[in-house]
Amino acid sequence: MTDSQLIREIKEGNLECYAELIRRYEKKILSFVTHLLRQAHLEHIAEDICQETFYKAYKSIHSFRDVEATFSTWLYTIARNSVLSELRKSRNSDVYLDDTLQVPVASAKSLPEQVLLRNERELMVRQAINSLPEKQRSALILREYEQMDYTEIATILDLTVSSVKSLLFRARQSIRGQLETYILDPHLDEAEGMNR
């Protein structure tokens, strides 16, 4: 069943179908919420906010119209708004990218220096993303980590598609600027086996 079919069933009184929607999106929403809360040291409430998101969505499901947005986009919007509300309550408006993103596992043949350089590069990228303003950071997380298209991101962030593209462009430029000296270091390129 598609999300739209499940929602139709829920609206007609088949409440068990909501469990299927939760199953489909719980891990993604939890991951997104955790990304937004981690650096603010509020990751311990990520599950609560995830549950709150699904509760709010359930309470408002009868007002949801899939001609205006997909269910996933609507759900991410609720999750983001719940996180921002919680951050305002805690007086901590900094939303950062998760510091525990997966670091590629090195093969047994990799030299320790290469593994160290790769890990260092991952850390520098995370720090660069963490330094972005909230909307740029959210747009980048949704695009690069959640693989959403521009229209979905625009709906979640309550912006136009062109504003989202602009945010992403500025975010990428900022990251590139922060990492430029590191990326252009010829010793690192040589160690990583990169060709210029």
Instruction: Give tens-digit pLDDT for 56-112.
Output: 999 999 888 877 778 988 999 999 999 888 888 876 444 444 444 444 444 444 567
Count of residues making up the chain: 196
CA distance 29 to 34: 8
Task: Label residue 34 by pLDDT band (50, 70, 90).
Answer: confident
Residue 107 CB contacts under 8 Å (≥ 6 apart), including other chains:
none
Per-residue pLDDT tens for 139-179? Answer: 888 888 888 889 989 988 889 999 999 999 999 999 888 88
DSSP state of 129: H
CA distance 146 to 77: 13
How open is the CA angle 53-56-84, to the nearest 5 degrees?
50
Residue with tokens 């906010």: 49
Residue 101 CB contacts under 8 Å (≥ 6 apart), including other chains:
122, 126, 145
